[in-house]
Chains A and B, each alone.
Chain A
Amino acid sequence: MSTTRKRVYGYLAEFKSASALYKAAEKVRDAGFRKWDCYTPYPVHGLDAAMGLKRSILPWFVFFGGVTGCATAFALAYSTQVLIYPTVVQAKPTNIFTVPAFFPIMFELTILFSGFTVLFGLLGLIQLPRLNHPLFASKQFHRATDDGFFIAIEARDAKFNPDVTRNMLAEIGGENIELVEEED
């Protein structure tokens, strides 16, 4: 059965510059919207505050990733060099006092595990990879990665109202306002 039923994703409005977007974002934030986002070709300085976003929690993940890496390296080196397979080389002891010789690898694994935590932590936080998205159906959205500055307000937001939200976007300087729909 072929259906052409479509679900409304939300409104997409274009703004003429980063400054205009910044001011508009403050107004959308103050209007109390929750499920909305600004789309820009580059990270606009200060937009986090204008949108009311909190500081990213990624550093916490990375801290624990780094601690894990450091502990892994120590466990690996200590268990093999002291517990399982003690060998006297370079006149270095085979007990806990040989730890300074483990520092380089402990450092490297701290960095390695932290790096992987950055990668996977980031992908988790920004919910990527996600190859398809309703916004990609928009005819103008491809300019968000070129020279377009957009705000999209989702229909899922409690404050969303087809007419009121559209008027608000127009009032705060939005142009080319488009109702984005996704196929159900």
Chain B
Amino acid sequence: MASTSEHAPHTDTGIKLPVLKREKLILNDRSYHWITDRICGIIENRQPFLWWLLFIPSALIALIGVGGGLVHLVSTGVGIWGNTNRVMWGWPIVNFVFWIGIGHAGTLISAILFLTRQNWRTSINRAAEAMTIFAVMCAGIFPAFHVGRVWFAWFLAPIPNANAIWQNFKSPLLWDVFAVSTYFTISLIFWFLGMVPDLATIRDRCKPGLRKILYGIFALGWRGGNRQWSHYEMAYLLLAALSTPLVLSVHSVVSFDFATSVVPGWHTTIFPPYFVAGAIFGGFAMVLTIMVPARFIYGLQDLITMKHIDNMAKIILLTGTIVGYAYLMELFVAFYSGAIYEMDAFKFRIAGPYWWAYACMMSLNVLSPQVFWFKACRENLWVVMIVAMCVNVGMWFERFVIIVTTLARMWLPGDWKTFSPSPQDQMLFVGTIGLFLMLFLLFLRFLPCINIAEVKWAKTESDPHFEDNEAHSDDGAEEIPAYQKELAESKG
């Protein structure tokens, strides 16, 4: 009896609804060796001209903007920034929140999509995680130098010091120190551990020499034995499980910097989810911004398919709509609270001298992603790129609106001030964009930008029971789900 129950009983009632076939994640039935070759080839071959065309300017911008900018800043003093007594957070913290938010998509892809078994993540998780790490590095520059005298930044760490003063553990600013540094460390561990088997692949392809030694050291001597894989998979699962609440906590803690203060426009409970959704939204836009060109330049169309881009566009649409809801809910709560200061803060945001920042935020973040309701827009890479760029800019404006417009109009009219960034402010921000691109290009040059092992794993024939299924296949097309069987039986 056991053998007969394994096969679905045939129903002859005529109900045969078509079952959608699962879309393939890797196109053209590429072999394992093709995957290895294509991804390792990026590292082993000469870089395309376009790589140099992007790398040299980014490196120069990073050198002048971040290197030169910080030397100038430290040797002169933070007075050269546009920050004032009132708008004391100003531009640097806008940039900090912007960059830290970018990172969130990487962890979402690597951790949350892993836990929810979204196998399409395998083609994009490595690059997205790299992006996380580089974005957090860019973010870290701003608060470290914003403390004023950067050589005292170690005061942030809870270690005994000559003043016998201890950090205030009740302050969201210290929470932030712990949240961001933990986030960076865990992301780095996740990224590195995920890369070990792929580094071993590169090691095994290298000719003996310095390259082989260096890749060999970072591959830790990985052999790909199942006694290693078994623990490794558990470690990966644990890191995913740890990173999931972590990523949600990081931007929540960042939002606490604002929400725990008694400032109209900041003191709202919606901030943590609103910031997290915004971070994921902005992060996915950045993933698209860098992956769509990289996919094209390195010919990775079979690995990062239109399906991936479609999925990311849908996530941008979803999170963008959540962000839009948060914007409107903020306004509604300000109105419904009846608190005049809260209402004035929002009136000022919409119709004050910074109305253009609010308008940019609303149109770029809420309206522009709405085109992704249409399949044609999700399939047109130009539209995708334009929307992604809109979101990148829009999310920067969101932070500008939250920080600058709020601080410029606080409780005392005597304090009111209009903020304008100094050239040094702008130089440092542009410098971090250069730094981010430079680091990402170096990553593409030296490290496997797609998770080779996981992409192989995602192929259908990687399942050890694949051949058994092939032997007595049901063709997939006539597969009848259980509920339809019930339906058929009840009718018959």
B252 to chain A, nearest CB (A): 8
Partner of B464, one of A45, A81, A105, A121: A45
Say yes or no for B201: interface residue by CB 8 A criterion: yes
| A130 and B221 contacting across the interface, CB-CB below 8 Å | yes
| B464 and A109 contacting across the interface, CB-CB below 8 Å | no
- A115-B239, A118-B238, A122-B235 known; A81-B170 Cβ under 8 A: yes
Say yes or no for A32: interface residue by CB 8 A criterion: no
| B464 and A22 contacting across the interface, CB-CB below 8 Å | yes
Chain A residues 11-62 with CB under 8 Å of chain B are 17-22, 25, 37-48, 50-51, 53, 55-56, 58-59, 62
Contacts of B245 in A (CB 8 A): 107, 111
Contacts of B232 in A (CB 8 A): 43, 122, 126
Contacts of B175 in A (CB 8 A): 104-105, 108
CA A20 to CA B465, docked complex, whole Å: 9
| B178 and A38 contacting across the interface, CB-CB below 8 Å | no
A134 to chain B, nearest CB (A): 10
| B464 and A47 contacting across the interface, CB-CB below 8 Å | yes
| B231 and A39 contacting across the interface, CB-CB below 8 Å | no
Chain B residues 186-231 with CB under 8 Å of chain A are 186, 189-190, 193, 197, 200-201, 203-205, 216-217, 220-231
**Which stretch, A1-9, A84-92, A164-172, A174-182, touches the partner chain B?**
A84-92
Say yes or no for B468: interface residue by CB 8 A criterion: yes
Say yes or no for A147: interface residue by CB 8 A criterion: yes
A146 to chain B, nearest CB (A): 5
Contacts of B186 in A (CB 8 A): 111-112, 115
Contacts of A44 in B (CB 8 A): 226, 229, 462, 464
| B169 and A133 contacting across the interface, CB-CB below 8 Å | no
- A80-B158, A121-B235 known; A133-B223 Cβ under 8 A: yes
Partner of A92, one of B170, B190, B227, B239: B170
Interface SS of chain A: helix, strand, loop or mixed?
helix
| B464 and A133 contacting across the interface, CB-CB below 8 Å | no
For B454, give the chain A residue with the smallest CB separation. A42
| A109 and B32 contacting across the interface, CB-CB below 8 Å | no
- A37-B227, A40-B229, A77-B169 known; A17-B461 Cβ under 8 A: yes
Using an 8 Å CB-CB cutoff, how does the interface string of B443-476 with A read, 1 for contact, 0 for none?
0000000001110110001111111100000000
Say yes or no for B166: interface residue by CB 8 A criterion: yes
- A104-B249, A105-B175, A111-B245 known; A119-B464 Cβ under 8 A: no
For A66, give the chain B residue with the smallest CB separation. B242
Say yes or no for B31: interface residue by CB 8 A criterion: yes
Say yes or no for B21: interface residue by CB 8 A criterion: no
CA A135 to CA B225, docked complex, whole Å: 11
CA A152 to CA B226, docked complex, whole Å: 11
Say yes or no for B233: interface residue by CB 8 A criterion: yes
| A147 and B204 contacting across the interface, CB-CB below 8 Å | no
- A107-B249, A116-B189 known; A146-B32 Cβ under 8 A: yes
For A38, give the chain B residue with the smallest CB separation. B226
| B235 and A39 contacting across the interface, CB-CB below 8 Å | no
CA A87 to CA B182, docked complex, whole Å: 26
Cross-chain pair count, CB within 8 angstroms? 217
Chain B residues 167-181 with CB under 8 Å of chain A are 167-172, 174-175, 178-179
Say yes or no for A125: interface residue by CB 8 A criterion: yes
Contacts of B457 in A (CB 8 A): 42-43, 45
A168 to chain B, nearest CB (A): 19
Say yes or no for A98: interface residue by CB 8 A criterion: yes
For A77, give the chain B residue with the smallest CB separation. B169
| A122 and B193 contacting across the interface, CB-CB below 8 Å | yes
A35 to chain B, nearest CB (A): 10
- A38-B226, A46-B464, A131-B216 known; A147-B32 Cβ under 8 A: yes
| B224 and A144 contacting across the interface, CB-CB below 8 Å | yes
Chain A residues 91-147 with CB under 8 Å of chain B are 92, 98, 101-102, 104-105, 107-109, 111-112, 114-116, 118-119, 121-123, 125-126, 128-133, 135-136, 142-147
Most buried by A among B167, B230, B232: B230
Say yes or no for B36: interface residue by CB 8 A criterion: yes
Say yes or no for A76: interface residue by CB 8 A criterion: yes
| B226 and A59 contacting across the interface, CB-CB below 8 Å | no
A65 to chain B, nearest CB (A): 10
A89 to chain B, nearest CB (A): 6
Contacts of B220 in A (CB 8 A): 123, 128-131
Q: Name 30 A/B residue pairs within 8 A (Cβ), A-sorted.
A: A17-B461, A19-B468, A22-B465, A41-B36, A41-B453, A42-B197, A42-B456, A51-B227, A55-B234, A56-B231, A76-B158, A80-B158, A80-B166, A80-B169, A81-B166, A89-B170, A90-B171, A90-B260, A101-B169, A105-B175, A112-B185, A112-B186, A115-B182, A115-B189, A126-B227, A128-B222, A129-B220, A129-B221, A145-B224, A146-B204
List chain B positions with a Cβ less than 8 A from chain A.
31-33, 36, 158, 164-172, 174-175, 178-179, 182, 185-186, 189-190, 193, 197, 200-201, 203-205, 216-217, 220-235, 238-239, 242, 245-246, 249, 253, 256, 260, 452-454, 456-457, 461-468
List of 9 A-B pairs having minimum Cβ-Cβ separation, nearest first = A147-B32, A22-B464, A56-B234, A142-B204, A101-B170, A80-B166, A37-B225, A129-B220, A42-B457
